Structure 1
């Protein structure tokens, strides 16, 4: 129990929660962005450069790193207009590798040797930021804005026909994800006081995906998945070297038996709706015959044409 409450575990879980939330919003809109570790690196290096070189306050530097993470996503957001699904995933993954390649060769940030000397950020601030991010993400996800994001992810064509600005919503979701990734990077850099391109490699992408698969595509699911898969290898130290195999088996089992994750949205609402129905009386479904009395929301083409024909006869 003491290990679970230790500062390193708290910091690890909080940073992974922020990073997992960064992928939640793009995925909700159907944007398969696998470049979040690259945006995390941008936030980490930007905030570290500001605190080490220009002696900015830690809080202001981390906020600037989050803004930098969101700003870097904008060029890649344009890809959503041209490519979809797996092609977008490959493009964003390549973008992340280009970002890491830049930091690996740029001597101003230490190149492959990394950057050190960042002032220490207390773990309580990191946990507080993670809690605030989860609360804000939950509010957004359950608001009209969040429902619009989910509608775009379900079927962008239908969402567009209902008046939703699909590109703008996808841009916004990707920018939110970039900001959260940049925030995670700033917290990572100032807690460990050392960063290098190796900290933001492809393993980060696989970790985030597994967190979401295990937890589910909801803010609380992201918290659950990130917490469980971050704590288990640390608690059972004998399994640490087997962590990749453990993750792989876990993902396979989840994909087979719980494809929506441990905490999907329909399960959360399922816990609440039965109680509401027992307390106030659950609504009773209308009989099938009553469907004949309900008018269609949109007139059919023959009906519209018949009205036009009648109008011409009266004329």
Structure 2
């Protein structure tokens, strides 16, 4: 059956947006990018917006909060995140931690990560009050669900998606939170969190208290309790090892939970091995270092490549069903077959 012309047109527009972003990352500035805000094959697409950095303040040691102002902004629900297109063209995702009912501004916060991939440093050093910044979203992969009880575990900056959840819980809801960090000074929104749940919040500062006691937290967990965790990989792994059904929000995409396989780069005449603990992007860039990429989390589309052969395990948050027929985002997606063939 032929596809409706509107779907074809929208898919073409989506491809133009991603190509524009790719050119920006590779050094050809294209500003502003086209707006896009329509569903394709059942997958919502978010328009690009340019918002004013109305305020910038330090809310904890090493943590900067940005309030981004606009008009008639899309509504969001607790747990949602926003894509920020930084001045360099890097795309990074930050959890929304403001008021979901406020359609005039978005609030995000980011911790400076020493030795990271550069996004947090760019926010801290280059994004200033009074400038404009491009955003896309919001999107929500970490929603608050209906449940008889809720348990939250936050590590450091991982409190940002959880904070709006705590505000949204109805009076009388059964919940508790374990909020951990290196030091109390490094834990953003600490006083507000404590005020929201007197007697329900356990604060664990590692320099004072050591590691949190997760066994005690999950002892005698009521049936059907919803458990949420956001923080560094070590914390997520520790929680997952104790609770079989956990809702996670990761700082980075998980790529190391699949088998090893090979990728043939047809145009280059090369074959690269992709270990179980590496991404296709990392393996490809070892051979082709100029391969474009940005977010490394399956959101921006910069690393999209055409697939000639093989079965892809798609893990991105961007491609439509039609686009997945013959392409993939190599930063997060993997192979179900022993070999993939890419048009590279």
Structure 1 length normalisation: TM-score? Answer: 0.23
Q: Which has the larger radius of gyration?
A: 1
Structure 2 length normalisation: TM-score? Answer: 0.21
Select the structure that is richer in helix.
1
